[in-house]
C-alpha cells in the first residue's frame, strides 16, 4: 500500500489497482472484467460461497475483500447465481485464481467474473486491507483492471473521493425486480439441481400465501419460504399496500437489500406501517428487518465496518423462542447498517444479539405476528442453524 504523496511506479506485472479515497494505492494483478468501478470496500470472512456473495444484491456498489485466500479454486456455475441484477462491482483476493477443481464447475471463476462485468484483483495483502477497514472503517475506492495500459492514479483517487458513499443512498429501487412474479422454484439437491415448487403442481390452494417484497432479495430466500410450506408471490420494492392487499396475503416477507434503510424507508416504511396496522404477519431479513424496526419506531445507524461472513455468532435473547432461548446460532451476515438497539421503543423486543459486538440482530413486535432478523437464515452461503425462522413464519400463517 502506498499513500497519495508517494505513488510508486506501476510495478511490473501489475494490471489492476485499488485506489482509496484518501489516496492509498494497492497494486495487484487484475482478472475478470476490464475497466473501472467505484464502491465501498468491505471484507467477508466466508471460506466458501464466493459466487453467491458476488451475486447478492445486498452488495450493490461494494467491493468485496475476501479474507480467505483461495477464492476461485472451485470455479463457477449458473446454479450458484443468487440474482441477475446489480450486485458487487468487484473483489479483492490474496492468491491468484487457480484452475477450477470441482465437479460442479462449468467455467473458471475469472471467466465468469468477466462475463458478469465484475472486476477482480489478486495478489493483495488482504490481511493488511482487512485490518485497515477494522481500524479506519470501510473506505470508498475505485477498482481498476487494464491489462495493456497504465493508470491515472490522481483521477482514480479524485473519483473515489467524490463518490457520495452508501449513507443516504437508496439502492433497493435499482436492484428490485420490475414486475410481479409467482415464484415457482424449489430447493436445490445434489445431482438433481433445483426442483419445481410443489405448489405449482396443484395451484397451491392449501398453502399459506406469502407476498415477498423484493428490496434486492437473494433467490434462495424464496426457495426457503417454499421449502417451509408457503406459496410465494414476489412484488417490486415500490408496490403499494393496496396492491399487496389485493393479492390476499396470509403474510408478507420483507427482503434483504442494499443501501441505507432510512433512504429506502421513505417509500417502504409507510407501506410496512400500514401492514402492521392491518395486523398482517410480517417477517423481515437484513434491510427488511431494519425497515420493520423503523416502522415500529426505532432508528438505524451506519456501522464502522459492518458484518459480512458465514461464521457470525448470534445469541437468542428474546422471549417466545421456547426452550431454544439463549442458544447460539452461527449465521451468515451481510450488512453495513444496523438497528440501534438503544432506540427500540416500548412494545419492540430485542430477540437476538451479535456476540461479536452486541449489536441488535433481531426484533419482535409485541401483540403482532411481526419479527425480523439482521442475518441471512437462507444460508447461501453459510450454516443452516437458522432455517427454523422460515418455519416459524409460515407456521404463523395457518
* Assigned C-alpha cell, 37: 468501478
| Catalytic residue (choose from 42, 91, 286, 361) | 286
Per the CB < 8 A criterion, the answer to whether 336 and 326 are in contact is no
Indicate if 42 belongs to the active site: no
* Among 20, 1, 21, residue whose Cα is nearest residue 11: 1
Told to judge if 378 belongs to the known catalytic residues of this protein, a careful annotator would answer yes
Q: List the catalytic residue out of 145, 289, 307, 376.
A: 376
SS3 assignment for the chain: CECHHHCCCCCCCCCEEEEECCCCEEEEEEEECCEEEEEEEEEECCCCCHHHHHCCHHHCCEEEEECCCCCCCCCECHHHCCCCCCCCCEEECCCCCCCCCCCCCCECHHHHHHHHCCEEEECCCHHHHHHHHHHHCCCEEEEEECCCCCCCHHHHHHHHHHCCCCCCCCCHHHHCCCCCEECCEEEEECCCEEEECCHHHHCCCCCCEEEEEECCCCHHHHHHHHHCCCEEEEEECCCCHHHHHHCCCCEEEECCCCCCHHHHHHHHHHHHHHHHHCCCCEEEECHHHHHHHHHCCCCEEEEEEEEEEEEEEEEECCCCCHHHCCCEEEEEEEEEEEECHHHCCCCEEEEEEECCCCCEEEEEECCCCEEEECCCCCCCCCCCCCCHHHHHHHHCCC
- Catalytic residue list contains 376: yes
Catalytic residues: 286, 376, 378
Amino acid at each position: 500500500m502506498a499513500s497519495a504523496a508517494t505513488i510508486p511506479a506501476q510495478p511490473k506485472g501489475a494490471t489492476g489497482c485499488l485506489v482509496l479515497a484518501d489516496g492509498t494505492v494497492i497494486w495487484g494483478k487484475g482478472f475478470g472484467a476490464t475497466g473501472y468501478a467505484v464502491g465501498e470496500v468491505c471484507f467477508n470472512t466466508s471460506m466458501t460461497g464466493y459466487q453467491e456473495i458476488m451475486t447478492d444484491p445486498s452488495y450493490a456498489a461494494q467491493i468485496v475483500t475476501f479474507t480467505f485466500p483461495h477464492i476461485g479454486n472451485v470455479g463457477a456455475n449458473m446454479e450458484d447465481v443468487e440474482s441477475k441484477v446489480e450486485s458487487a462491482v468487484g473483489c479483492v483476493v490474496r492468491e491468484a485464481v487457480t484452475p477450477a477443481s470441482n465437479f460442479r464447475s462449468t467455467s473458471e471463476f475469472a471467466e465468469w467474473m468477466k462475463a458478469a462485468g465484475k472486476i477482480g484483483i489478486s495478489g493483495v495483502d488482504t490481511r493488511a486491507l482487512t485490518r485497515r477497514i477494522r481500524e479506519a472503517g470501510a473506505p470508498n475506492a475505485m477498482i481498476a483492471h487494464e491489462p495493456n495500459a497504465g493508470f491515472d492514479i490522481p483521477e482514480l483517487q479524485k473519483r473515489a473521493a467524490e463518490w457520495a458513499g452508501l449513507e443516504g443512498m437508496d439502492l433497493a429501487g435499482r436492484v428490485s425486480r420490475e414486475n410481479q412474479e409467482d415464484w415457482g422454484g424449489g430447493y436445490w439437491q445434489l445431482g438433481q439441481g433445483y426442483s419445481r415448487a410443489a405448489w405449482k403442481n396443484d395451484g397451491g390452494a392449501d398453502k399459506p400465501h406469502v407476498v415477498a417484497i423484493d428490496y434486492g432479495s437473494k433467490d434462495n430466500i424464496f426457495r426457503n419460504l417454499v421449502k417451509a410450506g408457503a406459496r410465494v408471490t414476489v412484488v417490486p420494492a415500490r408496490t403499494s399496500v393496496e396492491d399487496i392487499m389485493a393479492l390476499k396475503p396470509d403474510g408478507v416477507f420483507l427482503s434483504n437489500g442494499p443501501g441505507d434503510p432510512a433512504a429506502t424507508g421513505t417509500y417502504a416504511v409507510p407501506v410496512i406501517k400500514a401492514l402492521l396496522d392491518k395486523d398482517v404477519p410480517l417477517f423481515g431479513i437484513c434491510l427488511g428487518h431494519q425497515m420493520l424496526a423503523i416502522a415500529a419506531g426505532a432508528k438505524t445507524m451506519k456501522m464502522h465496518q459492518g458484518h459480512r461472513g458465514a461464521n457470525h455468532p448470534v445469541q437468542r435473547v428474546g422471549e417466545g423462542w421456547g426452550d431454544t432461548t439463549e442458544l447460539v446460532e452461527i449465521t451468515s451476515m451481510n450488512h453495513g447498517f444496523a438497528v440501534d438497539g438503544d432506540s427500540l421503543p416500548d412494545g419492540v423486543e430485542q430477540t437476538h444479539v451479535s456476540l461479536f459486538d452486541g449489536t441488535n440482530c433481531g426484533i419482535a413486535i409485541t401483540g403482532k405476528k411481526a419479527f425480523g432478523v439482521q442475518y441471512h437464515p437462507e444460508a447461501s452461503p453459510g450454516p443452516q442453524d437458522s432455517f427454523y425462522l422460515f418455519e416459524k413464519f409460515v407456521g404463523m400463517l395457518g
